[in-house]
Amino acid sequence: MRSICRFVRHFDGEKSEIMAKKERNSFSGSMGFVLAAAGSAVGLGNIWRFPYLAARDGGGLFLLIYIVLAVTFGFTLLITEVAIGRRSQQGPLTAYGYFHKKWAFLGWFSFIVPYIIYPYYCVIGGWVLKYFATYLSFNGKEAVSDGFFTGFIMSQWEPIILTAIFAIMCFYIVYRGVEKGIEKYSRIIMPALVIMVVFICGYSMFISHTDANGVTRTGLDGAAVYFLPNFEGLTLRRFLMIALDAMGQLFYSLSIAMGIMVAYGSYMKRSVNLGQAVDRIEIFDTLIAVLAGLMIIPVVYVFMGTEGMKAGPGLMFIALPNVFDSLGVFGTVIGMVFFLMVLFAAITSAVSILEAIVASVKDKFGWTRKKSVLIMAGTGFIWSVVVCLGYNIWYFEYPLPNGAIGQILDIFDYVSNNVLMPVLAILTCVLIGWVVSPRLLVGEMRLNGYKFTRKGLYFVMLKFVVPLMLTVLLLTAFIQF
Ligand code: PHE
Residue 79 domain-assigned?
yes
- How far apart are the CA of 323 and the centre of ligand 1, in A? 26
Best probe residue, ligand 1, of 128, 193, 255 (max atoms within 8 Å of C-beta): 255
Instruction: Determine the Cα–Cα distance for residues 169 and 350; give it in Å rounded to an integer.
Output: 10
pLDDT of 131 above 90: yes
Specify if 11 maps to a domain: no
Q: Considering the domain boundaries, does residue 1 fall inside one? A: no
Q: Is the pTM of this model over 0.85?
A: yes
- Tell me which residue of 435, 475, 298 sits closest to 7, measured CA to CA: 435
**Selected residue with higher pLDDT from 215 and 11:** 215
Residue closest by Cα to atom 7 of ligand 1: 349
94 located within any domain: yes
Range of the domain at 313: 27-391+416-470
Total structural domains in the chain? 1
Which residue from 252, 254, 344 has its CB within 8 A of the most atoms of ligand 1, so it is best to mutate? Answer: 252
Q: Which atom of ligand 1 is nearest to the CA of 46?
A: 4
Q: What is the CATH number of the domain that holds 84?
A: 1.10.4160
In a domain, 396, yes or no: no
Q: How far is the CA of 44 from the centre of ligand 1 (A)?
A: 7
Mutate to test the pocket of ligand 1, among 123, 250, 347, 349 (most ligand atoms within 8 A of CB): 349
Evaluate whether 123 touches 159 at the Cβ level (below 8 Å). yes
Rg (C-alpha) for the chain, rounded Å, is: 22
Local confidence band at 367 (pLDDT 50, 70, 90 cut-offs): very high
- Ligand 1 centre from 121 Cα, in Å? 8
* Ligand 1 pocket list (CB less than 6 A): 40-41, 43-46, 117, 121, 252-253, 255, 260, 349, 352-353
| pLDDT tens digits, one per residue of 169-187 | 999 999 999 999 999 999 9
Centroid of ligand 1 to alpha carbon of 3 (angstroms): 38
- Alpha-carbon distance of 171 to 444, in angstroms, equals 32
CA of 329 to the centre of ligand 1 (A): 32
Over the range 87-123, which residues count as b (16 or more CB within 10 Å of their CB) and which as e? bbbbbbbbbbbbbeeebeebbbbbbbbbbbbbbbbbb
pLDDT > 90? residue 447: no
Give the chain's mean pLDDT.
90
Q: Does position 7 have pLDDT exceeding 60, yes or no? A: no
Ligand 1 pocket test, candidate residues 44, 290, 351, most atoms within 8 A of CB: 44
Cα first-last separation, the chain:
43
Structural domain includes residue 475: no
Q: Poorest-confidence range of 19-28, 117-126, 216-225, 284-293? A: 19-28
Q: Is residue 34 part of a domain?
A: yes
What's the full length of the chain, in residues?
481
**pLDDT over threshold 70, residue 442:** yes
387-402 confidence digits (pLDDT tens): 999 999 999 998 888 7
Q: How far is the CA of 218 from the centre of ligand 1 (A)?
A: 32
Within 8 A by CB and 6+ apart from 74, the residues are 250, 251, 254, 256, 282
Calculate how far, in angstroms, residue 293's C-alpha sits from the geometric centre of ligand 1.
17
Residue 40 Cα to ligand 1 middle (Å): 6
Note the pLDDT of residue 375.
98
Confidence of residue 311 (pLDDT cuts 50, 70, 90): low
Residue 406, in any domain of the structure: no
* Whether residue 6 has pLDDT greater than 50: no
Residue 465's Cβ-count burial label (10 Å; 0-12, 13-18, 19+) is middle
For residue 163, is pLDDT > 90?
yes
Mean local confidence (pLDDT), 358-374: 97
Locate the ligand 1 atom nearest the alpha carbon of residue 43 and give its number.
Answer: 12
Nearest to 110 by CA among 468, 470, 465, 427: 427
Question: Using CA positions, which residue lies closest to atom 4 of ligand 1?
Answer: 45
